[in-house]
Amino acid sequence: MIRVLVVEDSPVVREFLIHILSSDPEIQVIGTASDGEEAIEAVKHKKPDVITMDINMPKMNGLDATRRIMETHPTPIVIVSGIWDNREVETTFRAMEAGALAGVQRPMGIGHPDHEVTARELVQTVKLMSEVKVVRRWVRPQRPEPATAAPPSTEVELKRIPSEIRIVAIGASTGGPIVLQTILSGLPKDFPVPLLIVQHIAHGFTRGLVEWLAQSTAFRVHIAVDGEYLLPGHAYVAPSGFQMKVEVGNRIALSKDEPEGGLRPSVSYLFRSVAKVFGQNAVGVLLTGMGKDGAEELKLMREKGAVTIAQDKGSSVIYGMPGEAIRLDAATYVLPPDKIATVLSGMINKTRKEVNYECRGKV
């Protein structure tokens, strides 16, 4: 039985969430709290397996409560958000920085056409997060400015790589936002190739994710636009509800093509197009997440000569996607997030030097 603490200041919403969670026979709501201070006390005495956390509350908000809980009684926390303004979405991602594992949309009301889908997403997320082992978070120092150049790796030996890398494609799901932040923070501002990102995330979170990544990493991050030309040093995130691929001519194509494995955007859809258009001149990166999205297509990229990277088990919130890629022998490298950034910078610098050397040799 999964023991859940519901933290929500609205009595009506609180009862609504209890109703949805209690409808699953594997979940037991063991208590509630109406603000962050009550939540901290309830965690101390009731020791829940998972907490659903509201953001905007009196006395102490969800962000500060998350920080305190992760510093004192580490517990899997799911942010449940019902107001889609930029401020609340940004605060949700700051709560993830503090240790929350995921953010989901508050389920739609009974009778709404999306009620069942959104209710099921909440229940599934709570059940999934109950299996994650979290660790104590100490007070986090102020984030340093992003480096102007990533240092060369002394711990990861660069294997044979293509003579020219022209694109990096990244796929992520549960736990992905913090990993993306780590990777983008570790890349130099003058990173000379574009990045394409598919991040599975709750509807309504994509714009907030992009703005949070841009602000917290100083990297140029955008929501992808159909027909947009890919620029070096820019990261393009697939918009919610669209499949994203690349086409010949270095342009993004968005479509309403069918979901793959129930997912739109799908990592598999993106990776397949990158393998076709860029072949050996690409890097594919598969990060933390549930399921198998992108694993077979990462192997396809490797077979086409691309460099492929899977996140390691120790740093993954959920090891499904990268674990499947490793099982398929799809990964050239298996690395934690900070080493992924270092290796990407090292490979790009190496290929850029080789291209410059070849050009000088031809003069």
C-alpha torsion sign, points 115, 116, 117, 121:
positive
Q: Which amino acid is at 18?
A: I
Instruction: Given the residues 293, 312, 315, 316, select the one marked as catalytic.
Output: 293
Q: What are phi and psi of 38, to 5 degrees?
A: -65, -35
Active site residue 315: no
- Residue 156, exposed/middle/buried by CB under 10 A (0-12, 13-18, 19+)? middle
SS3 readout for 34-82: CCHHHHHHHHHHHCCCEEEECCCCCCCCHHHHHHHHHHHCCCCEEEEEC
Active site residue 185: no
Instruction: Given the residues 34, 173, 240, 266, select the one marked as catalytic.
Output: 173
Yes or no: say if 286 and 313 are a contact pair by the CB < 8 Å rule: no
Residues with Cβ within 8 Å of residue 303, at least 6 apart in sequence: none
ω into 336 cis (within 30 of 0): no
Q: Which of 213, 227, 204, 15 is closest to 105 using CA atoms?
A: 204
- DSSP assignment of 137-176 equals -PPPPPPPPPPSSPPPPSSS------S---EEEEEE-TTH
Instruction: Given the residues 81, 200, 240, 316, select the one marked as catalytic.
Output: 200
Yes or no: say if 110 and 300 are a contact pair by the CB < 8 Å rule: no
C-alpha torsion sign, points 250, 239, 322, 187:
positive
Give the strand pairing for 282-286 and 167-172.
parallel
Active site residue 173: yes
Residue 146: count other Cβ atoms within 10 Å of its Cβ: 16
Q: Which amino acid is at 53?
A: M
Residues carrying an active site annotation = 173, 200, 293
